[in-house]
Amino acid sequence: MSGPPALELRGVRACYGRIEVLHGVDLTVPVGGVLALLGPNGAGKTTTLKVACGRMRPTAGEVRLGDAPVPTRSPDGLARKGVCIIPEGRGVFPNLSVTENLRMWTYRGSVARSEVEERAFGRFPRLRDRRGQLAGTLSGGEQQMLAISRALTTNPTFLLLDEISMGLAPIVVSELYEVVAQLAAEGIAIVIVEQFVRTALGVADRAAIMAQGRIQLEGDPREVGDAVVDIYLRKASTS
């Protein structure tokens, strides 16, 4: 991969209450690349994404964009600079229709309503057919498509996807990942946290394995794929 480091975590520590769950995380998301962040449940993947998008403040270390550290006191800072997260469990408003969900995000004003719908329906024609349907009544895969469409209204430079395949049929997962690959080809840098290791490694340019609040290994997806089983098992045998 070429180009300068884009989004970087350096020595990040993070706590819930008094319990530290990230113990010094170093991670680089290169410009226009896809990074797969893998690891067993409870490893700290979601927490890492929360820090990376500014939703959670690290207790030590820093988040950097390009050459500059992002002040952790302005939670908006990272969002304004194009870091967007699709949180675990689908961030859609269940009692609003598809169109209303898309509109919720146009108030920021950077993209016109019609443009937002065009983009969403262009990428996911299925959503056009269901534009008036309440988001809560969509299938899991459709909700995820809506969540991704909504994220795209913010013109993100970095997109952080937290387990978008959770509970979905394999065919829907491949459909979603086709879009992920397209977005990456369009130059959006993407971090995917995923339980389906093979799916994630299939679209990734880099991969990292996290366990017990630390990055255990980072490298080429193939190399990381070979090690992943070992690291998961080691975690299982020590916990």
Per CB under 6 A, 39 contacts ligand ADP:
yes
Whole-number Å distance between alpha carbons of 65 and 212? 25
Residues 14, 56 contacting (CB under 8 angstroms): yes
- Nearest-approach distance from CB 17 to ligand ADP, in angstroms: 7
Closest CB to ligand ADP among residues 45, 90: 45
Q: What angle do CA 31, 33, 34 make, to 5 degrees?
A: 140
- Nearest-approach distance from CB 41 to Mg ion, in angstroms: 7
Interface residue with Mg ion among 46, 106, 143, 154 (CB under 5 A) is 46
Give the binding range for ligand ADP (CB under 6 A) out of 43-51, 140-148, 164-172, 198-206: 43-51
Give the binding range for ligand ADP (CB under 6 A) out of 40-48, 117-125, 136-144, 181-189: 40-48
Per CB under 5 A, 144 contacts Mg ion:
no
Interface residue with ligand ADP among 47, 106, 154, 216 (CB under 6 A) is 47
Q: Taking Cα atoms as reference points, which of 68, 77, 156, 66 lies closest to residue 110? A: 156
The residue count of the chain comes to 239
Whole-number Å distance between alpha carbons of 25 and 13? 7
Closest CB to Mg ion among residues 88, 175: 88
- Nearest-approach distance from CB 169 to ligand ADP, in angstroms: 22
- Nearest-approach distance from CB 36 to ligand ADP, in angstroms: 13
Per CB under 5 A, 47 contacts Mg ion:
no
Closest CB to ligand ADP among residues 50, 206: 50
End-to-end CA distance of the chain: 36
Per CB under 6 A, 45 contacts ligand ADP:
yes
Whole-number Å distance between alpha carbons of 40 and 59? 23
Whole-number Å distance between alpha carbons of 44 and 22? 6
Residues 97, 132 contacting (CB under 8 angstroms): yes
- How far CA 234 is from CA of 42, 71, 129, 238, in Å, comes to 14, 36, 47, 6
Per CB under 6 A, 166 contacts ligand ADP:
no
Under the rule (CB under 5 A), what is the footprint of Mg ion?
A: 46
Under the rule (CB under 6 A), what is the footprint of ligand ADP?
A: 16, 21, 39, 41-47
